[in-house]
């Protein structure tokens, strides 16, 4: 990782580049403010796109080790926090994970009632997959971070894989994933993710299923690109990620993990975004992160579409600024410039999500819905900004899940 002084030097260099760009643009357009602001915003918005596209193309997954030093049946423990052991996806999830033959699977729930239910649910799997040790634990409160923290102390293998309870693996997933740890500098490994397309949905729910799928496609594009360029990622998704156990068991990890606060320590502790905390911790500890993007390490997951929640304001601003440039005002067919700009914007949005539409071309008719949601998503982000003190885990209604469990 970079040291402090070198990072400061890089920041200064980038600042000088930005300043030089501003000065050169101003001189180039000789006071034409419309052209100046349009080009400036265009560069701000789209400089990353060709760079990330190049990174995406140049990316190479982890090579298969000739003599692997890690094996799933002795070196890997799975931690699965759950509050819904009788859920629709739980059975397929646990079967697909157990089929990869890890050394141990620790299922962690919350409270005595859910503990008893989970133990009864897990018992048959322990009989079916006898090469894997199954353990059920429970935290005192319903919190993903608390549940994971309980399990960490029971891990004795060098590699830990953290998973959600609604993901599905391929049989070769775990053996392929472990190849990334043959590099001793790698401490954290991300995977390729895909939302399962559900059949038989209404038109409305089908749109939301597509939006969830596209979100992960964009996530895949970003982390594959940036990891290929400089080894970085903005976050390693907690849906499935592999990490060296020594990192999780470092003396400073759990205290920070359970008591993370923000805004000068006034709000928290956080429950959501545990994957962001882990990613930051790994970087601070000096470990490398590897995105293992391949067919073998592609997980499938489901997204909720029963009650979905009903980006970028810069693109409409670009269209407006185009109309203020001398190019637009002096062009014989000015509308052609607007059409070209609109097509460019569409292209940049389509490239990241093209893998999904290539697999499911019947959903291309919903592409306009995706575009509308992309802008609406900015409103959601704005709402999140003005309600930042609400740090609850909104993805799961924990109280309802506990209340739904029948007494045993």
Q: Kindly list the distances between the CA atom of residue 252 and the CA atoms of 20, 136, 188, in Å, as whole numbers in the listed order.
A: 43, 25, 17
In a domain, 297, yes or no: yes
Residue 103's pLDDT is 98
Tell me what pLDDT residue 278 has. Answer: 97
Sequence-distant (≥ 6) Cβ neighbours of residue 44 within 8 angstroms: 314
Count CB neighbours of 58 within 10 A.
11
For position 109, which CATH number holds? 3.90.550.10
Residue 400 lies in a domain: no
Report if residue 117 sits inside a domain: yes
Model pLDDT, residue 5: 45
Please give the chain's pLDDT, 408 residues, in tens.
333 445 567 667 767 777 787 788 777 877 688 888 888 888 888 888 888 899 999 999 998 888 899 999 999 999 999 999 998 899 999 999 999 999 999 999 999 999 999 999 999 999 999 999 999 999 998 889 999 999 999 999 999 999 999 999 999 999 999 999 999 999 999 999 998 888 787 877 888 788 888 888 989 999 999 999 999 999 999 999 999 999 999 999 999 999 998 777 777 788 778 999 999 999 999 999 999 999 999 999 987 655 554 434 457 677 777 888 888 888 888 888 888 888 888 788 888 888 888 888 888 888 888 777 776 666 666 666 666 566 555 555 556 666 666 554
Task: Decide if 254 is inside a domain.
Answer: yes
Range of the domain at 86: 72-301
Q: Answer yes or no: is 348 within a domain.
A: no
Distances (CA, A) of 347 to 78, 222, 319, 320, 354: 40, 16, 15, 19, 10
Number of domains in the chain: 1
Could you tell me if residue 107 is inside a domain? yes
How many whole angstroms separate alpha carbon 96 and alpha carbon 101?
A: 10
In a domain, 321, yes or no: no
Q: Are 138 and 109 in contact (CB under 8 A)?
A: yes
Tell me whether residue 290 is in a domain: yes
Give the pLDDT confidence score for residue 408 in this predicted structure: 45
């Amino acid at each position: 990782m970079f040291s402090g002084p070198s990072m400061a030097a890089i920041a200064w260099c980038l600042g000088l580049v930005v300043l030089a760009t501003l000065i050169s643009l101003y001189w180039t357009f000789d006071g034409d403010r419309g052209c100046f602001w349009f080009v400036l915003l265009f560069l701000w918005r789209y400089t990353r796109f060709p760079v990330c596209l190049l990174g995406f193309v140049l990316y190479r997954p982890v090579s298969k080790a000739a003599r692997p030093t890690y094996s799933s049946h002795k070196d890997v423990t799975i931690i699965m926090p759950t509050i819904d052991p009788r859920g629709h996806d739980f059975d397929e999830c646990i079967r697909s994970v157990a089929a990869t033959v890890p050394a141990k699977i620790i299922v962690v729930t919350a409270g005595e009632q859910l503990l008893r239910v989970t133990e009864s649910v897990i018992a048959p799997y322990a009989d079916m997959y006898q090469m894997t040790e199954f353990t059920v634990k429970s935290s005192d409160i319903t919190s993903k971070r608390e549940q994971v923290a309980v399990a960490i102390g029971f891990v004795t293998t060098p590699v830990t894989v953290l998973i959600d309870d609604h993901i599905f693996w391929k049989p070769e997933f775990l053996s392929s994933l472990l190849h990334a740890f043959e590099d001793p500098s790698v401490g954290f490994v991300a995977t390729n993710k895909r939302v399962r397309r559900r059949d038989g949905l209404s038109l409305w729910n089908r749109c939301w299923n597509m939006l969830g799928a596209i979100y992960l496609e964009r996530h895949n594009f970003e982390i594959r690109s940036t990891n290929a360029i400089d080894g970085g990622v903005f976050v390693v998704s907690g849906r499935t990620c592999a990490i060296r156990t020594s990192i999780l068991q470092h003396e400073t990890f759990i205290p920070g993990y359970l008591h993370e606060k923000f805004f000068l320590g006034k709000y928290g502790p956080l429950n959501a975004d545990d994957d962001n905390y882990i990613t930051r911790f790994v970087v601070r500890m000096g470990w490398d992160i590897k995105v293992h993007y391949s067919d073998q390490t592609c997980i499938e997951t489901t997204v909720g579409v029963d009650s979905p929640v009903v980006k970028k304001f810069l693109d409409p601003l670009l269209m407006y600024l185009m109309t203020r440039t001398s190019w637009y005002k002096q062009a014989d067919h000015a509308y052609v410039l607007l059409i070209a700009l609109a097509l460019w914007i569409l292209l940049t949005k389509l490239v990241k999500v093209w893998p999904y539409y290539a697999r499911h071309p019947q959903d291309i008719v919903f592409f306009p819905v995706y575009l509308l949601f992309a802008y609406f998503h900015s409103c959601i982000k704005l709402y999140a900004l003005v309600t930042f003190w609400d740090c609850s885990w909104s993805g799961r209604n924990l109280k309802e899940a506990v209340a739904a469990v029948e007494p045993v």
